[in-house]
Amino acid sequence: MASVLVTGGAGFIGTHLCNHLHNKGYHVISLDIQQSDDNPWEVVVADVRDYLQIDGIDSIVHLAAQVSVAQSMEDPDYTLSVNVDGTSSVLAAAESSGVKRVLFASSAAVYGDADEMPITEKSPLIPQSPYAVSKIVGEELCRQSPIETCALRFFNVYGPGQSSSGGYSAVIPAFKKAIAAGMPPTVFGDGTQIRDFIHVSDLVRTIEIALSSKVIPEEVNLASGESTSLIDLLKALEKHHPDMANPLFEDERAGDIHTSIADVTLMNEVFSPGEMITLEEGIN
């Protein structure tokens, strides 16, 4: 079975991906700056920006990154360093060791606030944050590599194991944590902002298909294609937590996108991931 290196393998998506690929019989190597829990796959603790020596790897899924849009507004240098230099270093290692395919975790953030919804891969790129810039540069580095690469433009990924700690938590774990503590969930802005949420198990299943797919586009949206406003999200959570506190509205976050909905035609054509978990099923 093929060997796959997963950078960021100890993170939220990385742990799900390593587990999925391991269960499917892949030889999995996780590379992460953080030590992970005891897992049945191989683990390398390293910074992606370091000189990486890799041997006998067929494919790489490059997930390691600074993932918070808000953090990138506060510390652009760190985001650019990890996300750009890290991608450059991973590609250099891949090129010198005969890796056949690199799948790069890009993001819906590259589109910014697009004029037309849903967003296709041909939509213009309008970065609104250093995070978005870092992903655009990462994609470009991939395009310039002689290796076969694909930029997987993740929309909003959620699911079990997603961190709810710190000030940069993604919206679903942040809301759930507040509700569990009997506190009001904090909404940045008026809650009308729209996201396209994809469950992590659907995402990792699709990534596995992309590893072996004969046809591989240069870039592709990975999303559910369903739009949900933060107000809708709160209503869905309220069904299961009827006593939850009313949300607290705070100022909109700098760099925030208002509306993000994917056109998933290309994803369905090339990868056929099948039916996806609905948000109502996935959040509880």
Residues serving a catalytic function are: 131
Least distance to ligand UD2, CB of residue 126, Å = 13
List 3, 7, 30, 68, residue binding ligand UD2 (CB under 6 A): 68
Least distance to ligand UD2, CB of residue 36, Å = 19
Q: Which of 80, 187, 88, 205 is nearest to 147 (CA)?
A: 88
Site residues for ligand UD2, window 82-111 (CB under 6 A)? 107-109
C-alpha to C-alpha distance for 45 and 31, rounded to whole angstroms: 6
Note the helical H segments in the chain.
12-23, 69-74, 76-80, 86-97, 130-144, 171-180, 200-212, 230-240, 265-271, 279-282
List 260, 262, 270, 282, residue binding ligand UD2 (CB under 6 A): 260
When CB distances to ligand UD2 are compared, the closest residue is: 174
Site residues for ligand UD2, window 121-140 (CB under 6 A)? none
Note the helical H segments in 24-164.
69-74, 76-80, 86-97, 130-144
Whether residue 63 contacts residue 249, with contact meaning beta carbons closer than 8 Å, is answered with: no
Helix and strand tally (H, E) in the chain? 10, 13
Binding region for ligand UD2 (CB under 6 A) out of 67-75, 138-146, 213-221, 267-275: 67-75
C-alpha to C-alpha distance for 207 and 21, rounded to whole angstroms: 10
Half-sphere exposure of 50 (CA within 13 A, CB side): 11
Q: Which of 121, 125, 122 is nearest to 109 (CA)?
A: 125
List 47, 253, 265, 277, residue binding ligand UD2 (CB under 6 A): 253
Least distance to ligand UD2, CB of residue 97, Å = 28
Does residue 207 touch ligand UD2 according to CB under 6 A? no
C-alpha to C-alpha distance for 193 and 257, rounded to whole angstroms: 8
Query: Residue 44 or residue 254: which is nearer to ligand UD2 going by CB?
Result: 254
List 16, 20, 176, 195, residue binding ligand UD2 (CB under 6 A): 195
Least distance to ligand UD2, CB of residue 171, Å = 4
Site residues for ligand UD2, window 156-185 (CB under 6 A)? 156, 170-171, 174
Does residue 41 touch ligand UD2 according to CB under 6 A? no
The C-alpha angle with vertex 80 and arms to 157 and 123, in degrees rounded to 5, equals 55
List 3, 9, 150, 155, residue binding ligand UD2 (CB under 6 A): 155
Which residue ranges make up the site for ligand UD2 (CB under 6 A)?
A: 67-69, 107-109, 154-156, 170-171, 174, 186-188, 193, 195, 230, 253, 256, 260
